[in-house]
Amino acid sequence: MFDTDTIVGRHGGLGTAGGRIVDRHGQPFVLSGMSLFWSQWMPQFYCAGTVRWLREDWGCNAVRAALAVNFGGYRQDPEAEWRKVTAVVDAAIAEGIYVLVDWHVHEMEIISAATFFDRLSRAYGDVPNLIYEIWNEPYPRYGWSAHIKPYCAEIIPIIRANAPRSLIVAGTPTYSQRPDLAAGDPLGFDNVAYAVHFYAASHRGAFRDYCTAALDRRLPLLASEYGTCESNGDGRFDPVETEAWWRFLRRHHIGHFNWSVADKLETAAALLPGASPDGHWPAQTLTPSGRLVRAYLRSLAGQGALDIADSRAQVGGQ
């Protein structure tokens, strides 16, 4: 039975149709949420308190768990990273929102990915909340038809064996910036969306043109990671170009996850150092990016029509 008091209860498992992500009623559904930081480096936010606050106060209908694979992540200690990710999945289920589990890696890691996604889909295959992102950002040396598509063709059937209708997100070439390169040779599976990642100060109109080319071929897109700054996650904060991207995403019903829920000293981080993992973040603990994105998410959820104007004024006054 669906609990119609929750977002997932009303919309059910997500899929794709007509070049868009749709809900169980076949209506377009726009995922709007936050991405957690690399799991091995910001584990404190992989908890129920953070997920609850993102739903209650930020208006998120989804959260993204970025499972670190290398650099001391899953490859080094799979059980520790499994516990972090499943804590977020369980919290999202309790809150009635969607959760995107991201295989957060640039290299092709097919053996460990197969093991992980088999375990994850066995554990949660009947849960409508869960979305599987199977390769975060392939390095530019990986071509679509030569490398990424064959990788997806190996991993997707493993998930499908346990979760036959769940939404799956495929990475695209050059750090998931080129969905157009996948559009000419798409995967032969239902309920698959394709990732587009952008950082507003670095990726401008030409990158939206790549998305338009993919959309023209009816490729369902998901902005599973985006930032308000430069592509290294730091540098210049660019609210103007961020809002240009938001307009584009709204026009095409494309979901989006902002990078990131972290208290690291960098522009993309939503929080200032020392922010509590239990949420309840007062305004003074939010960065300029955090204030802008929170206001936007709240406006989408109908929670704070004035918040985004207030946030723009605060940013402009700095």
21 - beta bridge partners? Answer: 16
User: Is residue 137 flagged as an active site residue?
Assistant: yes
Element (H, E) at 49: helix 48-56
Angstrom CA distances, 127 to 82, 166, 167, 271, stand at 17, 9, 11, 31
User: Is residue 225 flagged as an active site residue?
Assistant: yes
Nearest-angstrom CA–CA distance, 250 and 124: 30
Residues 290 and 268 sit within 8 Å (Cβ to Cβ): no
Among 225, 230, 241, 243, which one carries the catalytic annotation?
225
Among 81, 109, 137, 241, which one carries the catalytic annotation?
137
**DSSP letter string over 208-223?**
HHHHHHHHHTT--EEE
Nearest-angstrom CA–CA distance, 164 and 255: 22
**Sign of the CA dihedral with 20 first, then 24, 30, and 31 last:** negative
102 - beta bridge partners? Answer: 66, 133
Nearest-angstrom CA–CA distance, 222 and 28: 12
Catalytic site positions: 137, 225
